[in-house]
Structure 1
Amino acid sequence: MKTVFTGLGVMAPNGTSAEAYWAATLEQRSGITELERFDASGYPARLAGQLRDFKAEQFLSSRLLPQTDRVTRLALIAADQALQDAGVDPKSFDDFDMSVIGSNATGGFEFTHREIQKLWTHGPERVSVYESFAWFNAANTGQISIRHGMRGPGSVLVAEQAGGLDAIAHARRVVRRGVPLSVTGGVESSYDPWGWVSHLATGRISTVPDPQRAYLPFDAAAGGYVPGEGGAYLILEDEQAAKQRGAARIYGELAGHASTFDPRPGSGRPPGLARAIRLALADARLEPGDIDVVFADAGGIPELDRAEAEAIADVFGPRGVPVSVPKALVGRLYAGGGPLDLVCALLSLRDAVIPATAHVRDVPADYRIDLVRGEHRSAPVRTALVLARGNGGYNSAMVVRR
């Protein structure tokens, strides 16, 4: 059974639709700016990929706004876009024939911080009743399900940056078990003071003040990453069901996936990323030479970049496959990062172009990777590999093809 992508929805720092985001990626327009939603002048890092001038009330009803954190609003809008792009009218489906499988790593930080402040300053009677669920990682999945009457399997996966790809892979399992359609992907947003401190606590955030030099994946000058907000939701369907309902387009097939977990530090065992790549290729029944481009995880930290470069070179050979990092323009989006890279991969298949990696100048020769820089590369892209790694040892690899 083939599972295919028929709709794309994007809320990213440099574009609030799939086509707007793709155009910004090809034009090398960055969404990384100084934090605007609170005074960050006293913090060591102040840059983030942000959706500026986003007004949820333009898209969502006044009934929904008091119930939802910013991250859930982004999820709802991205899911709406994906359904519209796929030409799906949920009312034409049986309730149990639609599934929602999402990922979120940080939950509703802004909503919870605001309500906790009320608790401390005014007492429990002032705390919103919606605090009981609006903070929760599963709120996005629940609200999308309720909004569209989707009563099929619903899940949320939490694996930091790897979680978005893992959620989409789980949606494939659901479709293969007989549910015709799944809304799947992930988003993030946690830019209040409490959320920002949680980012800084990782010790991996870049403190460079120049937006063009702060996040330099695979560069000799790499010294941290920039967090980003937003992400993507996609419509995944059984191929035959999509054709029978008259789907307007099929962006590509989810051909293979695998997840692994790194061994504990000091064990002497290798990281699990190369194994995840090989298992994903095996799941797709492909050889390394069949892959036309790799969309890298790109940690932006020398030891993480080196480990990923070694995994890519180990599987594909030295400079054996073009590597692209479109997230250099938006930052690392945690659960939203993998789905957003997947949108890039699918549009690369459609348009036969590999996006250049912005701002990177000096890739160490011993990384042995063919990082696409400077100009975009025109190529007949038939098959793409998307990689994601989560803090703590998560690895996820996904193969899509035309």
Structure 2
Amino acid sequence: MVTGIGVVAPNGLGAAAYWAALLGGASGIGRISRFDPGGYPVRRAGEIRGFAAGDHVPGRVIVETDRWTHFALAGTAMALEDAGADLSVLPEYDLAVVTASSSGGNEFGQREIERLWAEGARRVSAYQSIAWFYAASTGQISIRHKLRGPCGVIATEQAGGIDAIASARRSIRAGARLVVTGGTEAPLSPYALTTQLATGLLSTGEDGAYQPFGRAARGFLPGEGGAMLVVEDGTRGGARPYGTIAGYGASFDPHPSTGRPPGLRRAVETALADAGLAPGDVGVVFADAMGVPAADRRESAAIAGVFGPHGVPVTAPKTLTGRLYAGGAALDVATALLALRHQVIPHTTGVGEVDPAHPIDLVTGRPRPARLRHALVIARGHGGFNAALVVSSALGNHPPP
């Protein structure tokens, strides 16, 4: 069961602020301010403004770590507080960490590369060797909270948040009592943005927009942040769970030259089978929503293939934050759990006219009240990774009206 949620997002710090922003349609996307983006094709992103690392991270750790780890530590502290978990009374080797990472410590690495060029190798920080490393957040969370059980990191880009949560479930089934899991990202330095441009998937220009499933879709905008969750085995008294991790499926897209279909539908069907559910049991799908027309068509076809045309409400609240890479699916899972608790589907904003080529019921305009028992979250990582996760209401089959 998921008992704690910590959100660090462009449109809200903390689960309550983030949820209010979603329901109000408040966007965290704007012109990049952390550096001058004028010379780059992409100038807009989901940027977290007003985040002071010193409010969340000890000073000595700040200088040793990158911004993405600061986000992870902040989200972890929020999630543990939300769960009401007193770790001092739990066996430390029964406590674990597994996070997702896409590209590691970009901003820290950028700074040290500049020092290398300008001042020579002796001026490069010794912490560069660990701050960039994709397992840095897992390690720092483990050290700070004395979580000495099985720890790991998943690197499957946007799919990583789901894969990490599934790994946390496996740890629980293997005997762990509590696992901190999720993912964060901080990809808004010049170096990081340059590496993203190589994919050709980003929405460019001064007016860059993120409009998945829309007629005007032309790519996505990146964002920073993510979410951390506390997953438990259910034996600790006093916990008020948001829901349970009910089903998981993963697949990999074959090379186009093989002529074989993409694997997304298989991942969704596997997750449903793992949860013991029929398609009609699912009340909402949180889409990967890449915003790239061809990728959107593949996703909407997979959703319609499983649930039938317009057969289930579909939403993509990430239009308010941008795609957060390793943090994106973790944030979508947190959002799905909040939707189950509050019995409302947050809407998708900013898509303009929905392309009728997509046979899905995209929730737009305003949040949609619903009786939700189960939600499906879909994610795809660059390079062919597919993941799907079913979360179920902690209230069983009788959610409140």
If the TM-score is normalised by the length of the shorter chain, which range does it land in? over 0.9
CA separation in 2, counterparts of 1:208 and 1:221? 14
Q: Secondary structure at the match of 1:63?
A: helix
CA separation in 1, counterparts of 2:189 and 2:245? 36
* % identical equivalent positions: 54
* Aligned-partner residue type, residue 223 of structure 2: G
Residue 399 of structure 2 is matched in structure 1 by none
* Aligned-partner residue type, residue 12 of structure 2: G
**Equivalent runs, 1:216-231 vs 2, <5 Å:** 216-231=211-226
Cα distance, 1:332 vs structure 2: 0.4
* Aligned-partner residue type, residue 68 of structure 2: V
After superposition, the CA RMSD in angstroms is 0.9
CA separation in 2, counterparts of 1:236 and 1:53? 29
Residue 91 of structure 1 is matched in structure 2 by 88
Instruction: Confirm whether residue 397 of structure 1 aligns to residue 394 of structure 2.
Output: no
Contact 2:187–2:223, Cα closer than 8 Å, also in 1? no
Gapped regions of structure 1 (runs ≥ 5): none
Q: Secondary structure at the match of 2:72?
A: helix
- 1:225-272 CA-to-partner distances (Å, cap 9, x unmatched) read 000100000000112x13xx321x110010000110001012111110
Q: Secondary structure at the match of 1:67?
A: coil
Structure-2 change in CA distance of 1:208 and 1:354 (3 Å): farther
Cα distance, 1:20 vs structure 2: 0.6
* Aligned-partner residue type, residue 310 of structure 2: R
**Equivalent runs, 1:86-235 vs 2, <5 Å:** 86-210=83-207, 214-235=209-230
Residue 236 of structure 1 is matched in structure 2 by 231
User: Which stretches of structure 1, 4 residues or more, deviate above 6 A after TM superposition?
Assistant: none
CA separation in 2, counterparts of 1:90 and 1:283? 31
Residue 365 of structure 2 is matched in structure 1 by 374
- 1:192-215 CA-to-partner distances (Å, cap 9, x unmatched) read 11111011111111014336xx00
Contact 2:337–2:391, Cα closer than 8 Å, also in 1? yes
Gapped regions of structure 2 (runs ≥ 5): 394-401
Structure-2 change in CA distance of 1:127 and 1:208 (3 Å): closer
Q: Secondary structure at the match of 2:249?
A: strand
CA separation in 1, counterparts of 2:300 and 2:349? 18
Q: Secondary structure at the match of 2:63?
A: helix
Cα distance, 1:319 vs structure 2: 0.2
CA separation in 2, counterparts of 1:381 and 1:318? 20
Instruction: Confirm whether residue 71 of structure 1 aligns to residue 62 of structure 2.
Output: no
Cα distance, 1:91 vs structure 2: 1.7
Instruction: Tell me the matched-pair count.
Output: 393
Instruction: Confirm whether residue 284 of structure 1 aligns to residue 305 of structure 2.
Output: no
Residue 323 of structure 1 is matched in structure 2 by 314
CA separation in 2, counterparts of 1:361 and 1:321? 20
Cα distance, 1:220 vs structure 2: 1.0
Residue 12 of structure 2 is matched in structure 1 by 15
Cα distance, 1:54 vs structure 2: 1.3
CA separation in 2, counterparts of 1:60 and 1:168? 24
Cα distance, 1:90 vs structure 2: 1.9
CA separation in 2, counterparts of 1:189 and 1:366? 34
* Aligned-partner residue type, residue 336 of structure 2: A
Q: Secondary structure at the match of 1:64?
A: helix
Residue 397 of structure 2 is matched in structure 1 by none
Q: TM-score, normalised by structure 2?
A: 0.97
CA separation in 2, counterparts of 1:326 and 1:366? 21
